[in-house]
Amino acid sequence: MGIETMTIDGLDYAMVMRRGFAVGKSEFCTEPDSSMQFGVLVHDAGYTETPHTHPKIDVKADIFQMLYVTKGELAVDFFSSKGAKTGEVIVSAGDAILIMEGAHAIRVLKDMECITVKQGPYAGIARDKIVLPAQAERNGGGTESADMNRGLRKLSIFLPVYNEAESLKVMIKILAATVDVPYEILVIYDFPEDNSVQTAKELQQKFRDIRLIFNDLGPGVSNAVKKGLAVCDGDVILIALVDEVFPIAAIADMLELMTAKGCDFVSCTRYALGGKRLGGSLIGGILSRLANKMFRLTSGCVLSDATTGIKMARRSIFEKISIEARVGWAFAFELSIKAQLLGLKIGEVPVVSVDRLFGGDSTFRIGPWMSEYLKWFFWGTISLNRSKAARQTRALTLDKHSAKEKG
Lowest mean pLDDT, pick from 8-12, 47-51, 278-282, 341-345: 278-282
Q: Is residue 326 part of a domain?
A: yes
Residues 67 and 182 in one domain: no
Residues 73 and 164 in one domain: no
From residue 98, alpha-carbon distances to 55, 94, 129, 259, 358 in Å are: 24, 14, 17, 31, 47
355-384 core/surface letters (b: 16 or more CB in 10 A; e: else): bbebebeeeeeeeebbebbebbbeebbebb
The closest of 259, 273, 239, 237 to 394, measured between CA atoms, is 273
Q: Is residue 341 part of a domain?
A: yes
> 83: phi > 0 → left, psi -120 to 50 → alpha, else beta; which?
left
Q: Is residue 193 part of a domain?
A: yes
Residues 172 and 216 in one domain: yes
For residue 138, which amino acid is it?
R
> pLDDT for 162-213, tens place per residue?
999 999 999 999 998 889 888 999 999 999 999 999 999 999 998 878 999 9
Q: Is residue 146 part of a domain?
A: no
Looking at the whole model, is its pTM more than 0.75? Answer: no
Q: What is the per-residue pLDDT for 235?
A: 92
> pLDDT for 19-32, tens place per residue?
877 767 787 777 77
What number is the average pLDDT over the span 290-316? 94
Per the structure, the complete domain to which residue 15 belongs is given by 3-119
CATH number of 206's domain:
3.90.550.10
**DSSP H helices in 150-281:** 165-178, 195-204, 221-231, 251-260
Residues 215 and 360 in one domain: yes
Residues 190 and 332 in one domain: yes
Q: Which of the listed residues 98, 119, 140 is the one where a domain comes to its end? A: 119
The closest of 95, 101, 97, 100 to 76, measured between CA atoms, is 97
Neighbours of 204 (CB within 10 A): 16
Residues 257 and 388 in one domain: yes
Q: Which of the listed residues 66, 95, 119 is the one where a domain comes to its end? A: 119
Residues 361 and 307 in one domain: yes
Q: Is residue 62 part of a domain?
A: yes
Residues 384 and 266 in one domain: yes
Q: Is residue 127 part of a domain?
A: no
Residues 192 and 287 in one domain: yes
What number is the average pLDDT over the span 42-59? 82
Residues 20 and 62 in one domain: yes
State the average pLDDT for the chain.
Answer: 83
Residues 88 and 160 in one domain: no
Residues 47 and 184 in one domain: no
Q: Is residue 144 part of a domain?
A: no
Number of domain units in the chain: 2
